Amino acid sequence: MNVRAIFIDMDGTLLKASNDISRRNMEAIYKLMNQGVLVFLATGRQYEVTAPYHKEIGLRTPMICLNGAAIHDPETGRVLQMKTIPLNEERFHHLTAEIPCNVIIHTANGLYCKETNEEIDYWTKVGQIPPRYIGDLRQANYKDVLKYSVRTGAPCPELSALFKNEAEVIDWIDGFEMVAPNISKWSAIKGLLTEFQISPNEVLAIGDGPNDIEMLRHVGIGVAMGNASERVKAAADFVTGHHENDGLAEFIERYLLKSYELYAI
């Protein structure tokens, strides 16, 4: 099978828990690029905390951010595509105010949150842009929402189910996220494949989270990380090693650097 492009998730896939790219992963990606394969990042992160890694690798491909809600130009960071969520804000804040949780709202103009935490502090350090607002989000003046994140510290499918008629809901073990209906990493990938004149059958995607399931199912080869849940692994064609053990590089070295042909398929 001829692999012309690879779409790589960041957290739990490209990055270690330390938020670093290992030397082995970096070298495997470089070798793949030298073979003429286009390498893309496809992440739930916002642009500001994606771009530094994109630059570190030396990529010149568009960045898929916020689970496909935004695609950014590789040189300027300009938004090439943006999909906002038409959510009933009053209802959203009423329902989330009833439970202990943090709410993070990603907009076209920046991040708004109920409270800061270690993750948001890390985003501020890496992206050099602090939240535009911290506090009671009912008092915040924001618009053009690209992604909502509700962090409860535990699964809450009963709450997330209340929004499935308004948004694309992604359930995590510590809460849930929402983007616009029918938006996913895969929906963003489809648009880029048309632009680059690449068939989905010539694409490999690799990831570990529930926000990766659609792209793993629809590309020619879907690869789940060893640290992925069983649900994510079930959506993939292959399972590689844990992200702390360079599972990304392991797969590239084993299959893609020897030949473009995956004889196991």
pLDDT digits 0-9 by tens, 155-164 = 999 999 999 9
Q: What is residue 226's three-state secondary structure? A: coil
Q: Are residues 78 and 187 located together in one domain of the fold?
A: yes
Residue 72 sits in the same domain as residue 189: yes
In the chain, % of residues over pLDDT 90: 95
Dihedral, 99, 228, 87, 191 alpha carbons, nearest 10: 170
When pLDDT is cut at 50, 70 and 90, the band that residue 235 belongs to is very high
| Domain-terminating residue out of 160, 179, 198 | 179
204 and 193 Cβ atoms separated by less than 8 Å: no
- Does residue 146 belong to any structural domain of this protein? yes
The answer as to whether 262 is a domain residue is no
Tokens 């038409």 belong to residue: 86
* Residues 152 and 116 both lie in one domain: yes
Q: Which of 179, 202, 230 is the last residue of a domain?
A: 179
Residue 165 resides in a domain: yes
Q: Provide the CATH number for the domain around residue 161.
A: 3.30.1240.10
- pLDDT per position as a tens digit, 59-89: 999 999 999 999 999 999 999 999 999 999 9
Does residue 75 share a domain with residue 192?
A: yes
| 234 shares a domain with 207 | yes
**Average pLDDT estimate for 202-216:** 98
263 within domain boundaries? no
Residues 173 and 187 in one domain: no
Domain boundary among 163, 179, 195: 179
98/76 same-domain check: no
d(CA 27, CA 23): 6
Domain tally, the chain: 2
Q: What pLDDT, on a 0 to 100 scale, did the predictor assign at position 261?
A: 46
145 and 18 in a common domain: no
**In a domain? residue 30:** yes
Is the pLDDT at 265 greater than 50? The verdict is: no
Same domain for 30 and 151, yes or no, is: no
Query: Which stretches of 147-184 are DSSP H helices?
Result: 157-160
**pLDDT tens digit sequence for 238-249:** 999 999 999 999
- Residue 50: strand, helix, or coil: coil
Residue 261 inside a domain? The answer is: no
Same domain flag for 115 and 164: yes
Evaluate whether residue 142 is within a structural domain.
Answer: yes
Intra-chain end-to-end CA distance of the chain, in Å: 8
| Structural domain boundaries enclosing 188 | 5-82+183-256
Q: Is residue 264 part of a domain?
A: no
Same domain, 14 and 48: yes
User: Average model confidence (pLDDT) for the chain?
Assistant: 95
Q: Where residue 248 sits, what CATH number does that domain have?
A: 3.40.50.1000
Arithmetic mean of pLDDT, 249-258: 93
pLDDT category, 1, cuts 50, 70, 90?
low
Same domain, 98 and 171: yes
Q: What is the DSSP letter of 42?
A: B
8 Å CB contact between 23 and 56:
no
pLDDT band at 259 (very low <50, low <70, confident <90, very high): low
Q: pLDDT, tens digit, for every residue of 87-132? A: 999 999 999 988 899 999 999 999 999 999 999 999 999 999 999 9
pLDDT at 258: 64
